Amino acid sequence: MSRKIIIAGAGIGGLSAALALNLAGFDVHVLEQSDALAEVGAGIQLSPNAMHVMQKLGLSENVLSRGFLPTSATMRHFRTAKEYLRMPLGNVIEKKFGAPYVHIHRADLHRVLHQAALSRGVQISVNTRVKRYQNLQIEGVNQVQVHLEDGREMIAAALIGADGIRSAVKKQMLPLASVEFTGQVAWRGTIDAQKVPRNLVKPEANLWVGPGAHLVSYYVRGGKEINVIAVQEQSRWTDTRWSVPGDVKVLRAAFGNWHSDVTQLLSKVEECFLWGLFASRPLDTWVDGHVALLGDACHPMLPFVAQGAAMAIEDSACLGQALSSNESINSGLSVYQSRRYARVTKVQRMAAKNASIYHMQGVSSRAKLLALKAVNSLSSDI
Ligand code: FAD
């Protein structure tokens, strides 16, 4: 079979897939619509399940050298700071799962993936937008023809749609599939840690839960920056963009009656973006002939278990393994979907369920147990 695979999208999912497929011996070409490769200016939590894949890709040290290792994850009451939950991370989680729990700036993670892909011979073309595809036979061999926005066409053994929540590949595969506004918005910003009083932010994954809102803060860049995500319920999202520049005054006012640790922290945010949070129901299929979806293109979810990118990274490892150990592309893609579907669907549901826990619709001992169970089961290996 031909070894050429085209990936639409150079996000965390597309680049991880490129590296996993490259490791499996495929000749990979990533097509990215933007004119430069970049990620949003915010942090990301990488749990051990994602770090296992980084280990397999030989990138764990690179990620760790740019990241931050939190000592624990805590859930606190928005006003009293009463601790509802404390879960050890650091050495404890690393010993248990064989990989650490890492906080990293997205731009740093993206750079690690991008540089590794280039140095290992993955071809990456920017300014190249995938428009549609066609499964076809050439001289008796099943292939896929990829049509680009600029009129060019490319042929490959497979096309992987890692083109995010607005995926053009998905739109063709499943014209009726839709993404919906979840009724939640998120402000995201980073703060220079030197500008924040010492000990205001603990070296943890700090989760504050309150009625209709929650806030997460943690260190990135070896402790030099603090990442803040503040989520609030909102009935509508009317902007055609996914994110808009946020107003720090509105952000501070929204959390104005929260604990002084939170209000002090928000007083240091100088710039932020406001994101509408969108998700979709599990799709009927991720595969059409020699085309498959990956990451947010097929399972966009609320970020309330910090697993969207982790699932895309897990998808990538599974895809590499399924394609290299199956006779045909078609059966490899089917195996990929069948191995990933149940786990990803479960995580999508967990993320949706956590909205009620995080927004204090019953912070009971049952809720605490559920949250603990969620983190434990997510961190298991693939
Ligand atoms: P994307 O990042 O959307 O990348 C898609 C790429 O495809 C883009 O570069 C785009 O330009 C390109 N593209 C689009 N269309 C085309 C086309 N037609 N042709 C070519 N290129 C195209 N996840 C975690 O694991 N941990 C966390 O802590 C976490 N926190 C989060 C916090 C917030 C507030 C949010 C909103 C999400 C969070 N997530 C987290 C989820 C995570 O950000 C996403 O799941 C992940 O970034 C998805 O990666 P992706 O590569 O699938 O898609």
First to last CA, the chain: 27
pLDDT digit string, tens, across residues 182-202? 999 999 999 999 999 989 999
φ, ψ of residue 200 in degrees (nearest 5): -65, -40
pLDDT of residue 19: 98
pLDDT of residue 311: 98
Q: Which residue has the higher pLDDT, 38 or 277?
A: 277
pLDDT digit string, tens, across residues 46-76? 999 999 999 999 999 999 999 999 999 999 9
Q: How far apart are CA 295 and CA 166, in angstroms?
A: 12
Q: How many CB atoms lie within 10 A of CB 285?
A: 14
DSSP category for residue 259: -
Q: What percent of the chain has pLDDT over 70?
A: 94
Atom of ligand 1 nearest to the CA of 16: 51
Q: How far apart are CA 249 and CA 292, in angstroms?
A: 43
Q: How far apart are CA 325 and CA 381, in angstroms?
A: 19
Q: Say which amino acid occupies 245.
A: P
Q: Which residue has the higher pLDDT, 49 or 39?
A: 49
pLDDT greater than 90 at residue 382: no
Three-point CA angle 76, 379, 88, nearest 5°: 40
* Probe residue for ligand 1, chosen from 6, 19, 31, 33 as the CB with the greatest number of ligand atoms within 8 Å: 33
Q: Is 110 in the pocket of ligand 1 (CB under 6 A)?
A: no
pLDDT greater than 50 at residue 381: no
Q: How far apart are CA 139 and CA 365, in angstroms?
A: 63
Give the confidence band of 367 by pLDDT, cuts at 50, 70, 90: low
Greatest alpha-carbon pair distance for the chain in Å reads 70
What burial class does residue 153 get, using C-beta atoms within 10 Å of its C-beta: 0-12 exposed, 13-18 middle, 19+ buried? exposed
Q: Whose CA is nearest to atom 47 of ligand 1?
A: 309
Q: Is 204 in the pocket of ligand 1 (CB under 6 A)?
A: no
Distance 312 CA to ligand 1 centre (A): 9
Q: Which residue has the higher pLDDT, 29 or 377?
A: 29
pLDDT digit string, tens, across residues 136-160? 999 999 999 999 999 999 999 999 9
Q: How many CB atoms lie within 10 A of CB 85?
A: 19
pLDDT of residue 242: 83
Q: Which residue has the higher pLDDT, 220 or 2?
A: 220
Q: Whose CA is nearest to atom 6 of ligand 1?
A: 9
pLDDT greater than 80 at residue 368: no
- For residue 63, give both structure tokens: 């990620």
Q: Is 15 in the pocket of ligand 1 (CB under 6 A)?
A: no
Q: Is 33 in the pocket of ligand 1 (CB under 6 A)?
A: yes
Q: How far apart are CA 123 and CA 134, in angstroms?
A: 22
Residue at token pair 């918005």: 185
Give the confidence band of 102 by pLDDT, cuts at 50, 70, 90: very high
DSSP category for residue 282: P
φ, ψ of residue 357 in degrees (nearest 5): -70, -50
Q: Is 171 in the pocket of ligand 1 (CB under 6 A)?
A: no
Gyration radius of the chain over CA positions? 21
pLDDT of residue 15: 98
Q: Is 302 in the pocket of ligand 1 (CB under 6 A)?
A: no
Q: Are 22 and 117 in contact (CB under 8 A)?
A: yes
In this prediction, residues 213-218 reach a mean pLDDT of 97
pLDDT greater than 50 at residue 299: yes
Q: Which residue has the higher pLDDT, 372 or 251?
A: 251
Q: Say which amino acid occupies 8.
A: A
* Probe residue for ligand 1, chosen from 52, 150, 296 as the CB with the greatest number of ligand atoms within 8 Å: 296
Model ipTM over 0.95 = yes
Q: Say which amino acid occupies 221.
A: R
Residue-averaged pLDDT of the chain: 93
Three-point CA angle 275, 30, 334, nearest 5°: 90
Instruction: Give the count of alpha carbons within 13 A of 293, CB side only.
Output: 28
Of 361, 156, 137, nearest to 146 by C-alpha is 156
Q: Are 66 and 44 in contact (CB under 8 A)?
A: no
Q: Whose CA is nearest to atom 35 of ligand 1?
A: 303
Q: Which residue has the higher pLDDT, 299 or 238?
A: 299
Q: Is 378 in the pocket of ligand 1 (CB under 6 A)?
A: no
Atom of ligand 1 nearest to the CA of 311: 25
pLDDT greater than 60 at residue 372: no
- For residue 352, give both structure tokens: 């949706």
Q: Is 31 in the pocket of ligand 1 (CB under 6 A)?
A: yes
Distance 200 CA to ligand 1 centre (A): 30
